[in-house]
């Protein structure tokens, strides 16, 4: 009862309260099978006073997965948490007909209520492509289920042990299968592996960027444009890695040209796949990308105006927005002039008492010892994330900027992928184990909401926060915790 009726609602409400302050949010969900039912986590993304945040607002178990059932459940989740569909910016889910079909889908039903709703389908041009090409290379690691991200690791591993494996099979003599004999004695084989290792490294790096928890829709254009330009440059220069290039020079002209053409076709197939999934929304992502630029002073009013038009945001006073943008840019220029770097100022803002930050900023002195964060302690690069920069600017700026804050909140609420939902499934597996299989869905939902909605604090901070909350402790000690049972969402 304490978990289900006190702590779980408390941490879920903290997320909802943050959303109500922010104004805008996106909703994403996914499904996993459990017996004869399906488990659906509903997660949100929003722009908080400290930057982009994600949270889990509900986990439900339901046997059906029809469009109407999903829509009714999603609406009930929003309603029970006091969230308005009018403030919903994007819907994130798998790219299936149930979710994003043109005629009757979850997206079209939501769009009937909110016409300007954005499709936040997974940016999985890379992911889907690797799920496609992995079928040709599944023999590389017979005992490992290869997915898109493990393909590069498989190729890299094979390249490292190629001489040893080749020697082993060739020493079998007549017992060596013909196909393996040809493979390990052919220059084409090792050259192809060199090529794949080189190209897939870039693909993996791009895919990991997409999955990073700080990435949002404002980063999509930069990430995808970068990998597309890199791949096009490789084709134009016919450069597929130094080792592949060296091996090609040792081969006959005919064989080298044939292999070179296959490399070009491979990369072009990747490019075609990316364009197929990205180009339809490329204009929108390009307009959103202005807020991914940490050089705030270089953002033009024309770009901001086009962004407002692209996302169809309402209730924006354009004249006041213009003035607010100028004021924020002026604040940013002043921050850059200070003796402490902007990165250090942001890290202090994220980790220290706000009043102390303001005092320190007035003195233009911040103790270096106070800059250390958990991310830096694990060698996180000293990188400025746009969402944190905007949050910091809104905090230190002397005057309120309601129109610009509203616009920034809208843009950063749009997710880049459904990765957070998939992360919930990982937590679900750890929670709903074989030894804990008798736990009720309500208790599992409560544990996940407590765990995932309090990830930004340490165990000690969690403990102290609970002990210092007198109202929460009062509820724990009272009979009230038995009167407010978690609501099970269902279709009548």
CATH superfamily ID and name for 2-122+418-482: ATPase, nucleotide binding domain (3.30.420.40)
pLDDT given at position 488: 41
Q: Which residues of 356-367 are buried (b: 16+ CB within 10 A; e: fewer)?
A: ebeebbeeeebe
**What integer pLDDT is reported at residue 152 of this predicted model?**
76
* Count of CB atoms situated within 10 Å of the CB of 369: 6
Among 141, 173, 172, which Cα is nearest to 154's? Answer: 141
Q: Are 176 and 170 in contact (CB under 8 A)?
A: yes
Position 64 scores a pLDDT of: 65
Q: Would the CA dihedral through 86, 90, 96, 100 be positive or negative? A: positive
Instruction: Report helix angle 253-278 to 187-211, nearest 10.
Output: 20
Between CA 222 and CA 217 the distance in angstroms is 10
> Domain extents for the chain?
2-122+418-482, 125-282, 296-412
Q: What is the pLDDT along the chain (492 residues), one digit of tens a residue?
A: 788 888 888 889 999 999 999 889 999 888 877 767 788 889 999 999 999 999 999 988 877 667 888 888 889 999 999 999 999 999 887 655 455 555 667 888 888 888 888 876 544 433 444 344 443 333 334 333 334 445 777 778 878 877 887 887 788 888 888 888 888 888 888 999 999 999 988 888 888 888 777 889 999 999 999 999 999 999 999 999 999 999 999 999 999 999 999 999 999 998 998 898 888 889 999 999 999 999 999 999 999 999 999 999 988 999 999 999 999 999 999 999 999 999 999 999 988 544 443 444 444 333 333 333 333 333 455 788 999 999 999 999 989 999 999 999 999 999 887 778 878 888 887 777 766 767 777 888 888 888 888 877 788 888 888 888 888 888 888 766 554 444 444 433
| pLDDT recorded at residue 49 | 92
CA atoms within 13 A on the CB side of 290: 19
For residue 386, the model assigns a pLDDT of 94
Q: Which long-range contacts (CB under 8 A, 24 or more apart) does 333-339 make?
A: 333/297, 335/393, 335/396, 338/364, 339/364, 339/365
pLDDT value at position 454? 85
CB 302 within 8 A of CB 107: no
For position 300, what pLDDT does the model report? Answer: 96
Long-range contacts of 263-269 (CB under 8 A, 24+ apart): 263/195, 264/235, 264/238, 266/195, 266/199, 267/199, 267/231, 267/234, 267/235, 268/235
The H-assigned helical ranges of 40-186 are 67-80, 97-100, 106-113, 125-133, 150-170, 178-184
Q: Which candidate, 390, 366, 52, places its Cα nearest to that of 217?
A: 52
Q: Which residues pair with 45 in a beta bridge?
A: 26, 54
Give me the pLDDT at residue 68, please: 84
Q: Count the alpha carbons within 13 Å of 381 in the hemisphere toward its beta carbon.
A: 3
Nearest in space to 449 (alpha carbons), one of 2, 1, 79, 10: 10
| Alpha helices (H) in 185-317, listed in sequence order | 187-211, 220-237, 242-250, 253-278, 282-288, 301-311
CA angle 88, 421, 121 (to 5 degrees): 55
Beta strand 88-92 with 25-29 is parallel
């Amino acid at each position: 009862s304490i978990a289900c009726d006190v702590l779980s609602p408390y941490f879920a409400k903290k997320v909802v309260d943050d959303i109500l302050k922010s104004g805008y949010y996106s909703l994403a969900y996914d499904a996993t099978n459990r017996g004869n039912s399906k488990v659906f986590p509903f997660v949100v993304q929003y722009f908080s006073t400290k930057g982009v945040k994600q949270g889990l607002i509900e986990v439900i178990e339901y046997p059906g997965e029809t469009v109407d059932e999903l829509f009714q459940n999603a609406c009930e989740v929003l309603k029970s948490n006091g969230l308005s569909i009018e403030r919903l910016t994007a819907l994130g889910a798998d790219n299936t007909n149930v979710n994003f079909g043109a005629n009757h889908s979850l997206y079209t039903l939501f769009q009937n209520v909110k016409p300007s709703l954005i499709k936040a389908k997974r940016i999985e041009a890379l992911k889907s492509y690797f799920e496609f090409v992995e079928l040709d290379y599944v023999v590389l690691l017979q005992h490992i289920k290869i997915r898109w991200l493990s393909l590069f690791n498989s190729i890299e591993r094979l390249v490292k042990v190629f001489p040893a494996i080749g020697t082993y099979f060739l020493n079998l003599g007549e017992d060596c299968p013909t196909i393996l004999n040809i493979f390990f004695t052919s220059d084409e084989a090792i050259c192809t592996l060199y090529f794949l290792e080189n190209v897939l490294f870039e693909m993996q790096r791009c895919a990991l960027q997409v999955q990073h928890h700080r990435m949002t829709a404002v980063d999509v254009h930069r990430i995808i444009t970068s990998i597309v330009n890199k791949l096009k440059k490789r084709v134009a220069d016919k450069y597929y890695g130094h080792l592949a290039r060296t091996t090609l020079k040792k081969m006959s002209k005919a064989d080298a040209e044939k292999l070179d053409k296959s490399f070009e076709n491979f990369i072009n197939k990747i490019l075609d796949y990316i364009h197929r999934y990205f180009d339809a929304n490329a204009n929108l992502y390009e307009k959103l990308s202005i807020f991914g630029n940490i050089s705030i002073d270089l953002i033009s009013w024309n770009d901001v105006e086009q962004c407002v038009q692209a996302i169809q945001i309402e209730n924006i006073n354009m004249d006041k927005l213009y003035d607010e943008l100028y004021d924020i840019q002026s604040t940013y220029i002043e921050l850059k002039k200070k003796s402490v770097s902007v990165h250090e100022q942001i890290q202090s803002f994220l980790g220290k008492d706000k009043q102390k930050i303001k005092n320190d900023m007035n003195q233009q002195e911040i103790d270096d010892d106070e800059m250390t964060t958990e991310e830096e302690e694990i060698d996180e690069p000293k990188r400025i994330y746009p969402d944190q920069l905007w949050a910091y600017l809104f905090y230190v700026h002397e005057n309120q900027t309601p129109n610009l804050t509203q616009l920034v909140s809208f843009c950063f609420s749009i997710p880049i992928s459904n990765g957070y939902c998939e992360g919930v499934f990982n937590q679900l597996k750890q929670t709903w184990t074989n030894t804990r299989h008798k736990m009720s869905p309500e208790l599992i939902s409560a544990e996940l909401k407590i765990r995932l909605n309090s990830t930004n604090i340490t165990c000690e901070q969690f403990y102290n926060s609970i002990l210092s909350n007198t109202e929460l402790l009062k509820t724990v000690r009272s009979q009230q915790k038995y009167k407010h049972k978690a609501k099970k969402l269902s279709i009548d």
